[in-house]
């Protein structure tokens, strides 16, 4: 089965597939040459005629050549497979980088990007090349057999056609079952990843056993789907095997009948018997490679879904903002499901100004942060940073213009040093230490086994929430961006540590524009003015720190 979409996804692979098919054809031809030569040797030995030593030497040469050809094909297949996987994963990751986080299912995405792409390898490097081999070699072998015994050639031609074409009747149903199985597999993988990330929460609520029961039920559904798939696949394989064995038997009977009637000699009979098996070898290999590459066919819908997800459009402005003025003009955003994020929101933060954005939960603070990060785009209105619409920046320039630090930051399984250098790869050790000291995390890092060279666990799991937040703030301080947006970045800190971090921020963000989104007064103590949001609108503003407005926000508004 040739899937046009899979060919489009792989990019420029036709030449590579043809090269692999050429290797497969050479290998098959060497098999045929070996079988033909062996038939001649056996015939000569039966008749007691001729010197067979040269023939044995030829058999040895053919064996070595076949081994070399197989080695070359495997090497080429490995390289082409790696190239296809790298190219396709690069496309997927490029698309994912431009898709809002809310529209990504991490478990399903990981399954598709890892297992789905991996399943495409045998489809491109095994199945498609072997399909081309099947179009060539059986016909040539049938022609050779026809020359020895026409009836045997007809028998092989008919049974080869049946072995190749008959199983295709089940392809559509097999593909439907495979897609259903892939959906169950993806759902189970997604739920499993989510549960692994939330094991402490499941234990705290006594939900671990209930979750395990749900997984068992999902696993049984997946097993049932897999067994249905295997049963259908075995029927298909059985038909092919029946046709192949029947073809070999019919060819043997035909050539033996020809020998009996005197229309064929012993040599022809041995040649036909040896070539009959080789005629079906490419077909048998095609069936094996079909099942190996089948996962790629079932994963194509998931790949298509990721690649067709609307991406956040990028502009062509490739220079970072020259100043930190932020202008939000009549911006509205409504979440799917009709929940309002912000409505007709307009505000301005001048370059170098520190502004606190406060309000009760659900007032639109985090929506504003996501809009500034361009994780989502406004339904109407525009946001300008440094005088340029955020939508006009290329991603690299936008990241060097504004940095948003979320409440729950992401740390990679890299060294602490590499995590801190994320926004600024050329940061020196002195720069890194200065940023860490500013947010009171230097001593924490120094206490780790290898200091700044300690490799963190996934998302820095060996650190506390407050320590992860401080590392994320230090990382943002190293960024060259003139605008920093801090979204509840001290929520996991005690009061004394929070006060020290806020003081350090005030010192090290001089000249930068800083928007502090917070509930607690301490986090906003150095703000030059404040903006209070409620129900997605500006409810109140004031100069200085918002003393008395943060803790009692619902009542004060």
Whether 69 has a pLDDT exceeding 90, the answer reads: yes
Whether 1 has a pLDDT exceeding 60, the answer reads: no
Task: Look at residue 64 in the predicted model and tell me its pLDDT.
Answer: 95
pLDDT for 519-537, tens place per residue? 878 888 889 999 999 988 9
Task: Look at residue 551 in the predicted model and tell me its pLDDT.
Answer: 42
Task: Look at residue 312 in the predicted model and tell me its pLDDT.
Answer: 66
Q: Rounded to an integer, what distance in angstroms lies between the CA atom of residue 175 and that of residue 180?
A: 9
pLDDT for 138-197, tens place per residue? 999 999 989 888 999 999 999 999 888 877 777 777 777 877 887 888 888 878 877 877
Asked if residue 342 and residue 294 are part of one domain, the reply reads: no
Q: Rounded to an integer, what distance in angstroms lies between the CA atom of residue 56 and that of residue 46?
A: 15
pLDDT for 497-507, tens place per residue? 989 999 999 88
Mean pLDDT check: name the lowest of 1-15, 93-107, 170-184, 190-204: 1-15
Give the pLDDT band (50/70/90) at residue 555: very low
pLDDT for 370-386, tens place per residue? 899 888 889 899 999 99
Asked if residue 260 and residue 129 are part of one domain, the reply reads: yes
Neighbours of 211 (CB within 10 A): 17
CB 369 within 8 A of CB 406: yes
Whether 366 has a pLDDT exceeding 60, the answer reads: yes
Task: Look at residue 510 in the predicted model and tell me its pLDDT.
Answer: 87
Q: Rounded to an integer, what distance in angstroms lies between the CA atom of residue 100 and that of residue 313?
A: 11
Q: Rounded to an integer, what distance in angstroms lies between the CA atom of residue 514 and that of residue 357?
A: 10
- Which SS3 state, helix, strand or coil, does residue 408 take? coil
Asked whether residue 485 is assigned to any structural domain, the reply reads yes
- Which SS3 state, helix, strand or coil, does residue 257 take? helix
Task: Look at residue 332 in the predicted model and tell me its pLDDT.
Answer: 93
Whether 294 has a pLDDT exceeding 70, the answer reads: no
pLDDT for 239-281, tens place per residue? 888 888 899 899 989 988 888 888 888 888 888 888 888 898 9
Mean pLDDT check: name the lowest of 42-51, 155-164, 278-287, 321-330: 42-51
Asked whether residue 317 is assigned to any structural domain, the reply reads no
Task: Look at residue 123 in the predicted model and tell me its pLDDT.
Answer: 82
Asked if residue 94 and residue 160 are part of one domain, the reply reads: yes
Task: Look at residue 205 in the predicted model and tell me its pLDDT.
Answer: 82
Asked if residue 266 and residue 339 are part of one domain, the reply reads: no
Give the pLDDT band (50/70/90) at residue 552: very low
Domain count along the chain: 2
- HEC sequence for 74-88: HHHHHHHHHHHHHHH
Task: Look at residue 115 in the predicted model and tell me its pLDDT.
Answer: 77
- Which SS3 state, helix, strand or coil, does residue 327 take? strand
Neighbours of 107 (CB within 10 A): 20
Tokens of 86: 């790298």
Q: Rounded to an integer, what distance in angstroms lies between the CA atom of residue 437 and that of residue 543?
A: 30
Asked whether residue 315 is assigned to any structural domain, the reply reads no
CA angle 487, 491, 493 (to 5 degrees): 130
Of 63, 56, 64, the residue nearest 40 (C-alpha): 56
CATH of the domain at 220: 1.20.1560.10
Asked whether residue 403 is assigned to any structural domain, the reply reads yes
Which residue, of 252, 278, 308, is where some domain finishes? 308
CATH of the domain at 484: 3.40.50.300
Which residue, of 280, 308, 336, is where some domain finishes? 308
Residue entry with tokens 């898709």: 99
Asked if residue 335 and residue 284 are part of one domain, the reply reads: no
Asked whether residue 221 is assigned to any structural domain, the reply reads yes
Task: Look at residue 193 in the predicted model and tell me its pLDDT.
Answer: 78
Whether 410 has a pLDDT exceeding 50, the answer reads: yes
CB 174 within 8 A of CB 287: no
pLDDT for 339-356, tens place per residue? 788 999 999 999 999 999
Asked if residue 337 and residue 193 are part of one domain, the reply reads: no
Asked if residue 331 and residue 290 are part of one domain, the reply reads: no
Asked if residue 380 and residue 260 are part of one domain, the reply reads: no
Q: Rounded to an integer, what distance in angstroms lies between the CA atom of residue 305 and that of residue 321?
A: 34
CB 300 within 8 A of CB 6: yes
Neighbours of 308 (CB within 10 A): 9
Whether 423 has a pLDDT exceeding 80, the answer reads: yes
pLDDT for 442-475, tens place per residue? 999 999 999 999 999 887 888 988 999 999 999 9
Asked whether residue 319 is assigned to any structural domain, the reply reads no
Task: Look at residue 2 in the predicted model and tell me its pLDDT.
Answer: 62
Asked if residue 283 and residue 391 are part of one domain, the reply reads: no
Mean pLDDT of 39-46: 84
**Does 228 or 51 have the greater pLDDT score?**
228
Asked if residue 294 and residue 408 are part of one domain, the reply reads: no
Highest mean pLDDT: which of 4-8, 87-91, 466-470?
466-470
Task: Look at residue 554 in the predicted model and tell me its pLDDT.
Answer: 43
Concatenate the DSSP letters of all residues of 30-59 into one string: HHHHHHHHHHHHHHHHHHT-S--HHHHHHH
Which residue, of 273, 308, 343, is where some domain finishes? 308
CB 335 within 8 A of CB 494: no
pTM check: above 0.85: no
Asked whether residue 320 is assigned to any structural domain, the reply reads no
CB 328 within 8 A of CB 346: yes
Task: Look at residue 557 in the predicted model and tell me its pLDDT.
Answer: 40
- Which SS3 state, helix, strand or coil, does residue 198 take? coil
**Does 556 or 220 have the greater pLDDT score?**
220
Backbone angles phi, psi at 145, to 5 degrees: -65, -40
What residues make up the domain containing 181? 4-308
Q: Rounded to an integer, what distance in angstroms lies between the CA atom of residue 481 and that of residue 401?
A: 4
Q: Using CB atoms within 10 A of its CB, is residue 503 exposed (0-12), middle (13-18) or buried (19+)?
A: middle
Asked if residue 532 and residue 416 are part of one domain, the reply reads: yes
Give the pLDDT band (50/70/90) at residue 55: confident
Mean pLDDT of 70-92: 88
Asked whether residue 321 is assigned to any structural domain, the reply reads no
CB 362 within 8 A of CB 534: no
Task: Look at residue 438 in the predicted model and tell me its pLDDT.
Answer: 93
Asked if residue 191 and residue 80 are part of one domain, the reply reads: yes
Task: Look at residue 553 in the predicted model and tell me its pLDDT.
Answer: 44
Q: Rounded to an integer, what distance in angstroms lies between the CA atom of residue 431 and that of residue 29?
A: 65
CA-to-CA dists, residue 451 to 159, 443, 481, angstroms: 70, 9, 27
Of 274, 217, 485, the residue nearest 372 (C-alpha): 485
């Amino acid at each position: 089965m040739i899937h046009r979409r899979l060919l489009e996804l792989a990019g420029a692979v036709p030449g590579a597939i043809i090269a692999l098919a050429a290797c497969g054809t050479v290998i098959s031809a060497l098999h045929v040459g070996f079988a033909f030569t062996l038939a001649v040797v056996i015939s000569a030995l039966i008749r007691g005629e001729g010197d067979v030593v040269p023939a044995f030497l030829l058999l040895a040469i053919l064996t070595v050549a076949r081994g070399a050809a197989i080695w070359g094909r495997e090497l080429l297949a490995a390289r082409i497979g790696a190239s296809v996987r790298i190219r396709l994963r690069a496309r997927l990751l490029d698309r994912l980088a431009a898709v809002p986080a809310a529209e990504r299912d991490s478990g399903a995405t990981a399954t598709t990007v890892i297992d789905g792409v991996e399943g495409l390898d045998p489809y491109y490097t095994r199945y498609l090349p072997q399909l081309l081999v099947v179009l060539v070699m059986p016909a040539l072998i049938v022609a050779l057999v026809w020359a020895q015994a026409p009836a045997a050639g007809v028998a092989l031609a008919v049974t080869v056609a049946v072995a190749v074409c008959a199983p295709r009747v089940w392809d559509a149903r097999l593909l439907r079952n495979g897609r259903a199985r892939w959906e169950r597999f993806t759902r189970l993988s997604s739920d499993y990843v989510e549960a692994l990330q939330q094991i402490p929460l499941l234990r705290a609520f006594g939900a671990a056993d209930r979750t395990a029961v749900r997984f068992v039920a999902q696993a049984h559904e997946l097993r049932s789907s897999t067994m249905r798939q295997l049963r259908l696949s075995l029927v298909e394989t059985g038909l092919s095997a029946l046709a192949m064995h029947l073809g070999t038997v019919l060819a043997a009977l035909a050539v033996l009948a020809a020998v009996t009637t005197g229309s064929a000699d012993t040599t022809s009979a041995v040649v036909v018997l040896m070539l009959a098996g080789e005629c079906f070898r490419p077909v048998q290999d095609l069936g094996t490679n079909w099942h190996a590459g089948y996962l790629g066919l079932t994963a194509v819908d998931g790949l298509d879904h990721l690649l067709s997800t609307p991406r956040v459009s990028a502009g062509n402005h490739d220079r970072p903002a020259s100043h930190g003025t932020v202008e939000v003009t009549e911006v509205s955003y409504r979440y799917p499901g009709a929940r309002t994020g912000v409505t007709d929101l307009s505000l301005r933060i001048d370059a170098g100004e520190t502004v606190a954005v406060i309000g009760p939960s659900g007032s639109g603070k985090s929506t504003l942060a996501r809009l500034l990060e361009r994780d989502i785009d406004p339904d109407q209105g525009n946001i300008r940073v440094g005088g340029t619409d955020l939508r006009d920046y290329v991603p690299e320039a936008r990241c060097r213009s504004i940095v948003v630090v979320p409440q729950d930051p992401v740390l990679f399984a890299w060294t602490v040093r590499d995590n801190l250098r994320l926004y600024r790869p050329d940061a020196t050790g002195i720069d890194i230490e200065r940023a860490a000291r500013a947010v009171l995390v230097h001593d924490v890092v120094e206490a780790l086994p290898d200091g700044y060279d300690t490799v963190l666990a996934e998302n820095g799991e060996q650190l506390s929430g407050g320590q992860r937040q401080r590392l994320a703030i230090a990382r943002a301080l190293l960024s060259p961006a003139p605008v920093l947006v801090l979204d509840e970045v001290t929520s996991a800190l005690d009061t004394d540590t929070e006060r020290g971090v806020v003081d350090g921020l005030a010192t090290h963000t001089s000249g930068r524009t800083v928007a502090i989104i917070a509930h607690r007064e301490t986090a906003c103590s150095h703000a030059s003015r404040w903006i209070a949001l409620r129900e997605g609108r500006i409810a109140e503003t004031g100069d200085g720190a918002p003393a008395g407005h943060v803790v009692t926000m619902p009542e004060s508004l």
